[in-house]
Amino acid sequence: MRRFNLNLEKISDLVKPVEVRGGTNAVVKGISSLGEAEDGDLSFLANRKYGREVATSKASVIIVPDDFAGEPGTDQAFFLHPQPSFALDKVCAYLERRLSPSPEPGIHSTAIVHPSAEVPKDVHIGPMAVVEEGVKLGSRCVIGPQAFIGHHAHLGEESELKARAMVMDHSRIGHNCVLHPGCVVGSDGFGYETVEGEHLRSPQIGIVALEDHVDIGSNTTIDRARFSETRIGAGTKIDNLVQIAHNVRIGKGCFLAAQVGIAGSSTLGDYVFLGGRAGVSGHLKVGDHSRIGGSTIVYQNLPAKSFVYGDPAMPYFQAQKFNVLRSRLPDLFRRVAAIEKTLTSDP
């Protein structure tokens, strides 16, 4: 359901284009892809491989790169911007504030907040949330329905726990962090010692520390350290269904896509990117600015600026060559079999 109306002037104020081509009297009521857009929609061109769709798009307003050569159709406006996707983010951020406004400060009557917890007056605590003994919340935090904050955990200013997110005992959450529904920060690490055939739990007495501006996706788990800390660097973004084991250290500005797994005591440098379902074995080091492709498994240390793919991980372009050669293996085996048959046949 479309629940907003934006005129051209408001969009221009949000986007701040370097140039506007054409014009329209339409009121924008929706945002769609170029191919699916209708009259009254806003669209954008970020990936140039879709450039041909601009000419046939029915969108009333299209945000295009600042060097785009095409002209708008009748009753259509082009907003030229050096980063169309970022420009669209500005529009969406405005709409997000309107469609999902921040909740009012206060503590819901069904929430359980320990008397010793430090809760500023401008904090919101939602229905059935639990805030344990010794918790410290920063100004303007938002604690969603059924969220849990364990003993002596700290949250920095303007951090938000979505519904059912959990921050376990003694965890440290920085400023402006977002923990999405169902994620768990500070659960026990997977540590056991086998003694006389019995697996005995190793106590996990460390913490998890998230630096500022860290986002944690739904149902992701970050384990507390066996000792010391598991640390996630400033500005790192972690997708849904990611597992980060105890004593892992992740640098600043990293991206971890869905279903990534990082085994215990491994270290990722700054600005490391991991594609979906990638894995890093334990006690390894991955250098700054490395890229690890989807479904790649890393078994050894990687120097800075590595670009790897495959299982086991190998340099990306080498892995692509192996994939091409692998597709030729059936024919190669047939040829080898034919040669062996010729060599072993009676004269």
pLDDT tens string 284-307: 999 999 999 999 999 999 999 999
Q: What percent of the chain lies above the pLDDT cut of 90?
A: 89
Q: Given this model, what pLDDT does residue 219 score?
A: 98
Q: Given this model, what pLDDT does residue 3 score?
A: 66
Q: Given this model, what pLDDT does residue 323 score?
A: 87
Q: Given this model, what pLDDT does residue 292 score?
A: 98
246 in catalytic set? yes
Higher pLDDT residue, 324 or 122?
122
The CATH architecture assigned to 108-319 reads 3 Solenoid (2.160)
Q: At residue 346, does pLDDT exceed 80?
A: no
Per-residue burial over 187-214, b = 16 or more CB atoms within 10 Å of its CB, e = otherwise: bebebeeeeeeeeeeeebebbbbbbbbb
Q: Given this model, what pLDDT does residue 177 score?
A: 98
Query: Which whole number is the average pLDDT over 270-280?
Result: 98
Query: Which whole number is the average pLDDT over 56-82?
Result: 96
- CA distances for 225 relative to 208, 216, 281, 289, angstroms: 7, 18, 16, 25
Give the CATH superfamily of 8-99: MurE/MurF, N-terminal domain (3.40.1390.10)
Q: Given this model, what pLDDT does residue 80 score?
A: 97
Q: At residue 2, does pLDDT exceed 60?
A: no
Q: At residue 344, does pLDDT exceed 90?
A: no
Query: Which whole number is the average pLDDT over 118-123?
Result: 98
Q: Is 55 left (phi over 0), alpha (psi -120 to 50) or beta?
A: alpha
Q: Given this model, what pLDDT does residue 1 score?
A: 46
Q: Which residue from 298, 292, 288 is spatially nearest to 250, judged by alpha carbons?
A: 288
Q: Given this model, what pLDDT does residue 145 score?
A: 98
> Are the C-beta atoms of residues 56 and 105 closer than 8 Å to each other?
no
Return the SS3 of 93: helix
pLDDT band, residue 59 (cuts 50/70/90): very high
Q: Within 13 Å of residue 152, how many CA atoms lie on the same side as its CB?
A: 4
What average pLDDT is seen over the chain? 95
Query: Which whole number is the average pLDDT over 91-115?
Result: 94
71-80, 189-198, 259-268, 325-334: lowest mean pLDDT where?
Answer: 325-334
List Cβ neighbours of 25 (8 Å cut-off, separation of 6 or more): 75
List the catalytic residue out of 154, 246, 283, 289: 246
Can you give the residue ranges of every domain in the chain? Answer: 8-99, 108-319
User: In this predicted model, what pLDDT tens digit does every residue of 207-259 receive, in sequence order?
Assistant: 999 999 999 999 999 999 999 999 999 999 999 999 999 999 999 999 999 99
Q: Given this model, what pLDDT does residue 341 score?
A: 86
Query: Which whole number is the average pLDDT over 196-204?
Result: 96
Kindly give the residue spans of alpha helices, DSSP state H, lying in 73-219. 84-99
Distance CA 248, CA 246 (A): 6
pLDDT band, residue 326 (cuts 50/70/90): confident
Does the model's pTM come out above 0.75? Answer: yes
Query: Which whole number is the average pLDDT over 30-55?
Result: 94
Distance CA 239, CA 286 (A): 19
